[in-house]
C-alpha cells in the first residue's frame, strides 16, 4: 500500500513514521520550499509522548523538551489561585513535554528521512486537488521550483495540510473561513533565569480576554542553569476583525505591551518578557466547526486539517500525533484501504470533535474570571475568594476536558501494529 501525506507538519511527519512502522509505504509532500524549525512553544500531553516514544523518539524528546511538572493559575497580580501536577507527577508512565515546535518538527523530519529515505519528504510540492481513480487515488501537485504540474498515484491520500487544508476544501466545498474567537495571541521566546519550579506552566489572567501564559521549553537551556521561556499573551480585541491566520506573521511590541505594562509579579516579569523577545509572532485564536465526516473512500484528514482547535488545552499537536498512530494502525488492519480509513475515523472523529468544542469554553478561563470579579485588586488567601467546593469543581472540570484518564492511558495496549 502506498500513502501520500499532504503536509509535513507535526501530524504529517508522525503519520509517515507510523505508516512506516506498520509496513506501509509513505510519501510526504509539503508546500514549503524547505522545512525550517518555525514556531515557538508547543505542549505534548502524555498520550502523544507515549506514541512518539513507541516510535523510538523518547530519547530525542527527553534531550530537547522540558518534562512539565505542574500547571498553575494566577490572578493578574501574580497571586496563586490553583494548580495541579502534570505528566509523570500524576502517575502517567510518560511525561508531558513543553518544547519548541520547530525542534519537534526537525526531530520528526530527521527520523522520517533516516527511516524512509531522503526522498520520502518532498518539499516545494503544493497539493492542488485529488481524483478518485479506482483502485486508487491521484493527487495533482505543483512543483514550486519549476511550476510543473504532475500527478502522484497512491492507494490512500491523507490531508495533513493544516488550517487551510486543500484536501479538506475539496472534501467539504464551501466551508466558511475559520471561526475567530476575537482573541489575538502574541507569542515570543526569551532566555532568562528559571522561575518557580523551573518546569511550571504558569497561566495568569483576569479572564479569557486578558491572559498571559509562560513556560520553559528547552532542556538544553535547563542544563546550563537557564530557562528558555515561551510566552503567549492573549487579548480579546474590542471591535477587532480577524486577520488571516498565519503562524509566521510578525507582531509589534507596541500592540501587546500596553495590556501588560504593570504585570510584574516578583516571580515573573511580564513586561520584561514582552520587550526581551527577539521577535514577536501574532496569531488570531481560530478554529473551525467540527466536521460530520473526515473523509470519503480513499481520502481522509488528520491533525489541524481535520480539527483545528483553540490552542488552549495543549491538544492541537498532541491530537495530530494520536491521529497519525491510529491511522496507521487502522490501515494496517483494514481489509481494504477504505475500510481502514473508516475505522480510523470511527475511532477518532467524535472524540476530537468534542475537544474542539470543549476548548471554546475552558473551565480555567471561568475560574480566572470569577476570581477577578470577586477580588479585582488581588487577594491574600484564595480560601477567602473561592470555597473548597468551587475549587474542587474547577479541578474536576479541568481534568475531564484536558487530561485523559491516567489509568486508561497507562493500561491500554500499544498502537504499534
Ligand atoms: C509554521 C508553523 C508554525 C507553528 N507554530 C506553532 C507554535 O509555535 N505553537 C503551537 O502550539 N502551534 C504551532 N503551529 C501549529 C501546530 O503545529 C499544529 O496546531 C499542530 O501541531 C497540528 O499539526 P498539523 O501537522 O496538523 O498541522 P501544521 O503543523 O499546520 O502543518 C501543516 C503542514 O501542511 C503544509 N501545507 C499546507 N498547505 C499545503 C499544500 N497545499 N500542499 C502541501 N503542503 C501544505 C504546511 O506547509 C505545513 O507544513 C504552527 C504551525 C505551522 C505550520
Residues 6+ apart with CB under 8 A from 386: 81, 82, 370, 371, 374
- The CA-atom distances, in angstroms, between 145 and each of 55, 124, 248 are 33, 7, 22
- pLDDT(403) > 70: no
Q: Write down the pLDDT at residue 308.
A: 97
Q: Write down the pLDDT at residue 245.
A: 87
Task: For residue range 107-147, list pLDDT tens digits in order.
Answer: 999 999 999 999 999 999 999 999 998 889 999 999 999 99
Which atom of ligand 1 approaches the CA of 141 most closely?
42
Question: Which residue in 165, 313, 163 sits closest to 244, CA to CA?
Answer: 163
Model confidence band, residue 244 (pLDDT cutoffs 50, 70, 90): confident
Residue nearest to atom 19 of ligand 1 (CA): 316
Query: How many angstroms separate the CA atoms of 92 and 69, rounded?
Result: 12
Question: Which residue in 55, 47, 46 sits closest to 14, CA to CA?
Answer: 55
Task: For residue range 174-184, list pLDDT tens digits in order.
Answer: 999 999 988 99
Instruction: Name the DSSP letter for residue 69.
Output: -
Centre of ligand 1 from the C-alpha of residue 305, in Å = 9
Q: Which of 5, 8, 9, 101 to mutate for ligand 1's pocket (most ligand atoms within 8 Å of CB)? A: 9
Q: Write down the pLDDT at residue 391.
A: 85
Q: Ligand 1: list residues with CB < 6 Å.
A: 6-12, 29-32, 38-42, 101, 126-127, 160-162, 166, 247-248, 303-305, 311, 316-317, 320
Please name the residue that has the C-alpha cell 501536577: 85
347: left (phi over 0), alpha (psi -120 to 50) or beta: alpha
Tell whether pTM > 0.85.
yes
Which atom of ligand 1 approaches the CA of 311 most closely?
11
Cβ burial of 311 (10 Å; 0-12, 13-18, 19+) is buried
Which atom of ligand 1 approaches the CA of 302 most closely?
26
Q: Write down the pLDDT at residue 396.
A: 80
Return the H-helix or E-strand segment holding 367: helix 363-374
Query: How many angstroms separate the CA atoms of 328 and 115, rounded?
Result: 16
Centre of ligand 1 from the C-alpha of residue 120, in Å = 18
Query: How many angstroms separate the CA atoms of 10 and 21, rounded?
Result: 17
Model confidence band, residue 402 (pLDDT cutoffs 50, 70, 90): low
Which set of grid coordinates corresponds to residue 288? Answer: 473551525
- pLDDT(324) > 90: yes
Question: Which residue in 229, 187, 180, 233 sits closest to 206, CA to CA?
Answer: 233
Centre of ligand 1 from the C-alpha of residue 80, in Å = 34
How crowded is the C-beta side of 411, counted as CA atoms within 13 Å?
A: 4
Q: Write down the pLDDT at residue 362.
A: 77
**Axis crossing angle, helix 10-21 with helix 46-54, rounded to the nearest 10:** 40
Centre of ligand 1 from the C-alpha of residue 9, in Å = 5
Which atom of ligand 1 approaches the CA of 308 most closely?
19
**Degrees to nearest 5, angle at CA 350 with 308 and 232:** 30
The arithmetic mean of pLDDT across residues 148-153, rounded, is: 97
Contact 267, 78 (CB under 8 A): yes
Centre of ligand 1 from the C-alpha of residue 162, in Å = 5
Q: Write down the pLDDT at residue 404.
A: 62
Q: How far apart are the first and last CA of the chain?
A: 15
Average pLDDT, the chain: 94
Q: Write down the pLDDT at residue 64.
A: 98
Centre of ligand 1 from the C-alpha of residue 38, in Å = 9
Which set of grid coordinates corresponds to residue 290? Answer: 467540527
DSSP assignment of 187-234 equals EEEEEE---TTSSEEEEEEEETTEEEEEEE--HHHHHTT-EEEEEEEE
The arithmetic mean of pLDDT across residues 88-96, rounded, is: 95
Residue nearest to atom 35 of ligand 1 (CA): 7
The arithmetic mean of pLDDT across residues 294-300, rounded, is: 96
Which atom of ligand 1 approaches the CA of 303 most closely?
26
Weakest-pLDDT range from 6-10, 148-152, 367-371: 367-371
The arithmetic mean of pLDDT across residues 259-285, rounded, is: 96
- pLDDT(197) > 70: yes
Residue nearest to atom 6 of ligand 1 (CA): 39
Residue nearest to atom 12 of ligand 1 (CA): 42
Which atom of ligand 1 approaches the CA of 29 most closely?
43
- pLDDT(393) > 90: no
- The CA-atom distances, in angstroms, between 385 and each of 24, 278, 395 are 56, 38, 16
Q: Write down the pLDDT at residue 401.
A: 64
In the chain, DSSP finds a helix count (H) and a strand count (E) of 13, 18
Residue nearest to atom 52 of ligand 1 (CA): 247
Q: Which of 4, 5, 6, 7 to mutate for ligand 1's pocket (most ligand atoms within 8 Å of CB)? A: 7
Which set of grid coordinates corresponds to residue 359? Answer: 476548548
Model confidence band, residue 399 (pLDDT cutoffs 50, 70, 90): confident
The arithmetic mean of pLDDT across residues 322-329, rounded, is: 98
- pLDDT(302) > 70: yes
Q: Which of 101, 279, 312 to mutate for ligand 1's pocket (most ligand atoms within 8 Å of CB)? A: 101
Which atom of ligand 1 approaches the CA of 8 most closely?
49
Q: Write down the pLDDT at residue 365.
A: 83
- The CA-atom distances, in angstroms, between 263 and each of 271, 282, 299, 398 are 7, 20, 49, 25
The arithmetic mean of pLDDT across residues 28-57, rounded, is: 96
Q: Write down the pLDDT at residue 312.
A: 81
Residue nearest to atom 3 of ligand 1 (CA): 39
Residue nearest to atom 11 of ligand 1 (CA): 42
Centre of ligand 1 from the C-alpha of residue 76, in Å = 31
Residue nearest to atom 13 of ligand 1 (CA): 39
Question: Which residue in 127, 167, 401 sits closest to 297, CA to CA?
Answer: 167
187: left (phi over 0), alpha (psi -120 to 50) or beta: beta
Q: Write down the pLDDT at residue 74.
A: 96
Amino acid at each position: 500500500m502506498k500513502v501520500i501525506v499532504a503536509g509535513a507538519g507535526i501530524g504529517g511527519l508522525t503519520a509517515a513514521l507510523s505508516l512506516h512502522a506498520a509496513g506501509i509505504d509513505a510519501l510526504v509532500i509539503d508546500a514549503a520550499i524547505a522545512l525550517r524549525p518555525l514556531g515557538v512553544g508547543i505542549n505534548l500531553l502524555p498520550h502523544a509522548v507515549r506514541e512518539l516514544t513507541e516510535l523510538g523518539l523518547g530519547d530525542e524528546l527527553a534531550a530537547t523538551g522540558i518534562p512539565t511538572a505542574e500547571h498553575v493559575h494566577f490572578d493578574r497580580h501574580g497571586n496563586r489561585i490553583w494548580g495541579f501536577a502534570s505528566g509523570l507527577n500524576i502517575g502517567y508512565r510518560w511525561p508531558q513535554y513543553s518544547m519548541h515546535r520547530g525542534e519537534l518538527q526537525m526531530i520528526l523530519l530527521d527520523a522520517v528521512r533516516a527511516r524512509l529515505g531522503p526522498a520520502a519528504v518532498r518539499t516545494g510540492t503544493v497539493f492542488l486537488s485529488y481524483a478518485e481513480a479506482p483502485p486508487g487515488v491521484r493527487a495533482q501537485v505543483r512543483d514550486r521550483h519549476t511550476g510543473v504540474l504532475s500527478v502522484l498515484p497512491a492507494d490512500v491520500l491523507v490531508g495533513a495540510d493544516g488550517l487551510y487544508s486543500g484536501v479538506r476544501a475539496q472534501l467539504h466545498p464551501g466551508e466558511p473561513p475559520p471561526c475567530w474567537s476575537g482573541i489575538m495571541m502574541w507569542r515570543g521566546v526569551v532566555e532568562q533565569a528559571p522561575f518557580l519550579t523551573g518546569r511550571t506552566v504558569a497561566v495568569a489572567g483576569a479572564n479569557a480576554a486578558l491572559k498571559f501564559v509562560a513556560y520553559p521549553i528547552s532542556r538544553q537551556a535547563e542544563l546550563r542553569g537557564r530557562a528558555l521561556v515561551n510566552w503567549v499573551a492573549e487579548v480579546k480585541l474590542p471591535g477587532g476583525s480577524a486577520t488571516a491566520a498565519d503562524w509566521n506573521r510578525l507582531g509589534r511590541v507596541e500592540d501587546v505591551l500596553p495590556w501588560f505594562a504593570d504585570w510584574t509579579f516578583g516571580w515573573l516579569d511580564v513586561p520584561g518578557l514582552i520587550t526581551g523577545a527577539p521577535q514577536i509572532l501574532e496569531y488570531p485564536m481560530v478554529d473551525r466547526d467540527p466536521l460530520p465526516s473526515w473523509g470519503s473512500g480513499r481520502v481522509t484528514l488528520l491533525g489541524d486539517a481535520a480539527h483545528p482547535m483553540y490552542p488552549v488545552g495543549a491538544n492541537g499537536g498532541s491530537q495530530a500525533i494520536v491521529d497519525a498512530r491510529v491511522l496507521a494502525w487502522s490501515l494496517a488492519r483494514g481489509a481494504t484501504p477504505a475500510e481502514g480509513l473508516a475505522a480510523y475515523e470511527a475511532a477518532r472523529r467524535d472524540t476530537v470533535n468534542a475537544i474542539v468544542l470543549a476548548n471554546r469554553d475552558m473551565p480555567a478561563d471561568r475560574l480566572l474570571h470569577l476570581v477577578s470579579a470577586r477580588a479585582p485588586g488581588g487577594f491574600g488567601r484564595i480560601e477567602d475568594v473561592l470555597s473548597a467546593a468551587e475549587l474542587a469543581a474547577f479541578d474536576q472540570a479541568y481534568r475531564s476536558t484536558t487530561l485523559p484518564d491516567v489509568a486508561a492511558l497507562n493500561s491500554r495496549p500499544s498502537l504499534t501494529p
